[in-house]
Chain A
Amino acid sequence: MSAGDQPTTSTTLTLAKALNAGLRAALAGDEKVLLYGEDIGSLGGVFRVTDRLQAEFGTDRVMDSPLAESGLIGTAIGMAMRGYRPVVELQFDGFVFPGFDQITQQLAKLRFRSHGRVALPVVVRFPYGGGIGSVENHSESVEAYFTHTPGLTVVSPATPNDAYWMIQQAIATPDPVIFLEPKRRYHEKGQLDLTAPARELHEAAVVRRGEDLTLIAWGPMVRTCLDAANAAEQEGRSIEVLDLRSLQPLDMPTILESVGRTSRAIVVHEAARNYGPGAEVAARLSEELFYVMESPVLRVTGYDTPYPPSAVERDWLPNLDRVLAAVDRSMAY
């Protein structure tokens, strides 16, 4: 797609280019939308998500920032208080921590602290997760830090179509959204329906129907779970795959409808297991479906270590074999 082109009804794009198209649509649709981040201007971002946007919308709206995440978030908070809708790009998941104080102590709290008077429509977007042969500090899954912080909405698209619509929905949200981009899926292609979003930002989606068990995932692990479900079908098992899309809030009606039908659930995420997002999903299911479950909610996750060197990340990350091994364990109850 060349610069300035907006497709009309449907097209096939990579997830990175779908985000680019979504950001372009948001910039074109509301002059208060600003992009701010490291190397997002002339370079177009490390993953080219903001490719050519500065050339199209100018240096006043697509701005390169200093290498200082705390100041980056703080500046966005100030801009939001003055009526802008800043979209902040952090280069990598590991780089969020210099800005962690601004996110958790200011961005998340100002609405509450001001008795509802100050809304901060800020989107903090960054690539997360591993699987691209990179190092620690560039491969982490940091969802739980933010889902545990009241005042933040936390979402993650898994497909180009969701990327295109969810980034626009996130920008339109009146309160802060942490927008997690599955970096290992940036170059996977998918069909975009450009007429309307399929669902609300907070809604989960059953992306594969099945009867025996529900795999619950988001972002990068949705593809892994779909592959595992397809492989399980060869073994005579009917596996449902639920893409949560939104981690905070959780779409409990959709989760309960699915697991209520299958009576078995496995949560799959790249983040380490201890106190991870899977624990929250498992706890909610055991509260709501105690008498429905055929087996305990299992978790397939990264190990409780720092992210390993890229040479061994394939053994560290949840993969098809580990998902299917958990399916076997669940079905054995």
Chain B
Amino acid sequence: MYQFKLPDPGEGLVEAEITQWLVSAGDEVRINDILVEIETAKSLVELPSPVSGRVHKLLAVEGQTVEVGTPIIEIDDGSATADSEEEPKHLVGAGPAPEPTSRRRPVAPPADQSATTAVQPVSTAAQPVITVEQPATTAVGKVLAKPLVRRLARDLGVALQSIRPTGPGGTVSKSDVEAAAGLGRVAESVNRVAIKGVRKATATNVSESIAKHVHVTEFNTIDISESKRLVEVLKARREFAGLHVSPLLIHAKAVCLAMARHPELNASWDADAGEIVYHDEVNLGIAAATPRGLLVPVIKGADKLSLVELCKAINDLVVTARDGKLQPADYAGGTFSITNVGVFGIDTGTPIINGDESAILAMGAIKRKPWVVGSGDDERIEPRWVTTLALSFDHQLIDGEQGSQFLADISTILSAPEMALLF
């Protein structure tokens, strides 16, 4: 059953008078048959039927004034009972048209003027072939490549001019650059990438380290809440304005302080000379994931730096490493390293000693964990910031006792930074 409600035939109409019915109950009507004549403030208007069917009932009589939106006639069009949720008729415009939810079939243009109108069937599942019009190479010698590709070429140290472009419109594509850098992908189910550059150097270094050093790793899990608090205190201080202060800074400082008591941790095993080399300064390496791979840039004389200077040195190093601008001198001459696997959310690991150094500290993730505090009747579990430290050292020149004491000293400083006064 369809209920026809009095629409507004003119903008802003509120009511109209039924002047004449042109149908009566039982009549068959078709779409656009005139149902009724109404009189508005402006004119007489004929209202057509929006549906086909049999008139069931007239709901208003001639001469009656009816408000817009009031049902005036019921037409049995085979539909269910009148939908009370139906929207009011649109005062302006025809109302929104239904919108398509799928793509129209792309129509292939005729091959030439004489071609017939036959249209090639196109599978709706097929990707339409689109070619992007590239600007013509008007500037002589100018290589066409999108910024992303230019940046990639720069990072990989490949000259764009030297690359044969195979991208759309004669542009150099990403895979062109990768191929030129020896990182090209082979069209099979595996990627075969040449071992070179930082990857190759890293592989050589870790293999040599495993062969050269006798690795032992010790772990210690500590409550590091006080160091976290210290980081917040430092952030608020003017000396650290503009600097990024992080737990890494406190770890680095703790290493430098503890090192003074354990010179064998800051030493090298020179098998060729048959000597142990004790270093005067702590050249602190910090492992960094850079755009070019894993590098361990070094802060020279880290133990001589104030906390602010150390922070600034770490900050500078992060920027240089992130920009891929580290020079060989920046990652040579380290005497001890820190690697931060915690940034990846990992609890800890068994780090491999870097180069000729004798030990390396791994920072783990700092997480909220239950921690037993107090003693006796006051003993309870509290949520604390907890981390696990891992120290790998070369057992050739460092005994378990020395390594353990060094790790214990670092732990003491990190869990109670005021203990740094004792060092």
Contact = CB atoms under 8 A, between A and B. Distances in A.
Interface of A: 14, 39, 42-43, 46-48, 92, 131-135, 138, 184-185, 187, 223-224, 227, 230-231, 234-236, 263, 290-295, 310, 314, 319-321, 324, 328-329, 331-333
Overall SS of chain B's interface: loop
Interface in B73-124: 87-88, 90-97, 99-104, 124
Interface in B373-409: none
A46 B12 contact: yes
Contacts of B91: 46-47
A311 to B, nearest CB: 10
B14 A184 contact: no
Contacts of B148: 263, 291-294
B293 interface: no
B93 A310 contact: yes
Given A134-B92, A332-B168, A227 B146 contact: no
Given A131-B96, A310-B93, 19 more contacts: A14-B87, A46-B91, A46-B92, A48-B88, A92-B92, A132-B96, A134-B93, A135-B93, A187-B95, A223-B99, A224-B99, A227-B100, A236-B127, A295-B146, A310-B94, A320-B103, A321-B103, A321-B104, A329-B132
A224 B11 CA distance: 28
Contacts, number: 91
A197 B18 CA distance: 46
A333 B11 contact: no
B103 A332 contact: no
A332 B131 contact: yes
A236 B93 CA distance: 38
B130 A328 contact: yes
B11 A42 contact: no
B132 to A, nearest CB: 5
Closest 4 CB pairs of A and B: A133-B94, A134-B93, A132-B93, A328-B130
Interface of B: 11-12, 14, 87-88, 90-97, 99-104, 124-125, 127-128, 130-132, 146-148, 151, 168
Contacts of A321: 100, 103-104
A328 B100 contact: no
Nearest to A16: B87
B199 to A, nearest CB: 23
B145 to A, nearest CB: 11
Nearest to B96: A184
A39 B99 contact: no
Contact of B11 (A14, A46, A294, A319): A46
B152 to A, nearest CB: 9
Contacts of A331: 130
14 contacts: A43-B14, A46-B92, A135-B93, A184-B96, A223-B99, A235-B103, A236-B127, A290-B147, A294-B146, A295-B146, A319-B99, A321-B103, A331-B130, A333-B132
B96 A333 contact: no
Contacts of A187: 87, 95-96
